[in-house]
Amino acid sequence: MTAMISARGLTKRFKDVEALSGLDLDVPEGTVLALLGPNGAGKTTSVRCLTTLLRPDSGTATVAGADVLADPDLVRSRIGLSGQYAAVDEHLTGFENLVMVGRLYGLGRQRSRERAQELLERFDLTDAGGRPSKTYSGGMRRRLDLAGALVASPPVLVLDEPTTGLDPRSRLQMWDVIRDLVAGGATLLLTTQYLEEADRLADDIVVIDHGREIARGTADELKARTGGERVEIVLADGSHAEAVRSVLATVAVGEVGVEENGRELTAAVEGGVLALQRVLTGVQELPGVEVLDVGLRRPTLDDVFLTLTGHAAETDTSDETAEATR
């Protein structure tokens, strides 16, 4: 299979920040690659380099058969970009925004209008299509922006954090839209901070941090390396931490994490529910242990980082990440 997106050794430096330090990417035709990483990992910088918005300091890239550095205009005619922040004109209506994009793709007036109407319908924006986009909710604006990326039906789509800031329902809708696009034959590069999202949508995942790859593989491969699901147990006080830890250790893959002065314990496990059951039984047999909460959860980006790098994801905007990984 031919690679629709292929990058070799991309680097980009902003003053004292090494935003990209030698990134390689390959996205075979008709597949989805998720670029997974915390705030400041270099996701947007990669996207901007691949979509001709930013010139990498070194490295090469081809997108849909065109060289990003040598032939940026050809690249632009073959990609659709939906950036991290919705790129819509707030004074124009949804319809006008899409018509404008169509005309700038060279579709002609009539074809642009038809295409705008089609896309408004597809993205559930027909009713709002006549209102200035300033009046749209964040989710609507995001959908309008994605619609803008699809105007010319480009074979390659690049979506930078398409679901960040969306409510759970809008997020599910966005996932459906993305799956439809892939079913229609599009090649997709998307960035995300959510392991679950990458798991649901992507064929391949590249985990990046500080502008370099720290892991790559299919969702299953990554999960195998990071130990799949987690059993998490919250205790009323930390005095029994050691006893509970040894119970968890009987089912854990790798080490048991102990946090909050021994009140919160986490272990990667295999065979989810069964492991949970054994933990519960084990803990019940311990005298005087008060369990506040216990449960099974999917690994998050933080877990991936913890297992792959031995440290939590460091970020430059810590509060946002805290939110994202919770």
Partner 1 sequence: MSTTEKASLARAGRGPLGALEDGWVVAQRNLVKIKRVPEVLVFVLISPIMFVLLFAFVFGGAIDPGDGSNYREFLIGGIFAQTVVFGATFTGAGLAEDMQKGIIDRFRSLPMSPSAVLVGRTTSDVVYNVLSLIIMALTGLLIGWRVREGVLDMLAGFGLLLLFAYAVSWVMAYVGLLVPSVEVINNASFIVIMPLTFVSNAFVPLESFSGVLRQFVLWNPVSALTQASRELFGNTSPASAPDAWSMQHPVLYTLLWVVLILVVFVPLSVNRYRRATSR
Ligand X SMILES: Nc1ncnc2c1ncn2[C@@H]1O[C@H](COP(=O)(O)OP(=O)(O)OP(=O)(O)O)[C@@H](O)[C@H]1O
In the complex, the residues that contact ligand X under the rule CB under 6 A are 14, 17, 19, 37, 39-45, 84, 193, 316
Q: Which is nearer to partner 1, 45 or 266 (CB)?
A: 45
> Does 185 sit near partner 1 (CB under 8 A)?
yes
Query: Which one, 237 or 316, has the nearer CB to ligand X?
Result: 316
Q: 215 is written with which tokens?
A: 């892991």
Give bridge partners of residue 293 from the DSSP assignment.
234
**Nearest alpha carbon to residue 115 among 123, 124, 104, 107:** 107
- Considering only 21, 60, 77, 84, the residue that binds Mg ion (CB under 5 A) is 84
Among residues 323, 316, 319, which one has the least CA distance to residue 301? 323
Taking a C-beta distance cutoff of 8 angstroms, is the pair 217, 259 a contact? no
Which residue in the block uniquely carries the two structure tokens 């803008």?
148
User: CB of 41: closest distance to Mg ion in angstroms?
Assistant: 8
Residue 319 contact among ligand X, Mg ion, partner 1, none, beta carbon within 5 to 8 Å by kind: none
Q: Are 123 and 145 in contact (CB under 8 A)?
A: no
Structure tokens given for 125: 């924006």
Q: Work out whether 117 is an interface residue with Mg ion (CB under 5 A).
A: no
The one segment of 80-88, 122-130, 244-252, 275-283 that binds partner 1 by CB under 8 A: 80-88
Judged by beta carbon, residue 54 or residue 177, the one nearer partner 1 is 54
Positions in 29-48 near Mg ion (CB under 5 A): 43-44
| Length of the chain in terms of residues written | 326
By CB under 8 A, residue 78 contacts partner 1: yes
Quote the least distance from Cβ 255 to ligand X, whole Å.
Answer: 28
105 interacts with, out of partner 1, Mg ion, ligand X, none, CB within 5 to 8 A per kind: partner 1
Which run of H or of E encompasses 158?
A: strand 156-160
* Residue 295 three-state SS: strand
Asked if 105 touches partner 1 (CB under 8 A), the answer is: yes
State the binding partner of 4 from Mg ion, ligand X, partner 1, none, CB within 5 to 8 A by kind. Answer: partner 1
Pairing of strands 156-160, 79-82: parallel
Question: Would you count residue 65 as binding partner 1 (CB under 8 A)?
Answer: yes
CA distances from 45 to 27, 54, 82, 277, 304 (A): 17, 8, 14, 44, 22
- The Cα–Cα gap between 294 and 231 comes to 7
Q: Which residues bind to partner 1, rule: CB under 8 A? A: 2, 4, 29-30, 48, 51-54, 64-65, 73-74, 76-79, 81, 83, 85-92, 96, 100-101, 103-107, 111, 115, 132, 145, 148, 151-155, 185
Q: Which residues bind to Mg ion, rule: CB under 5 A? A: 43-44, 84
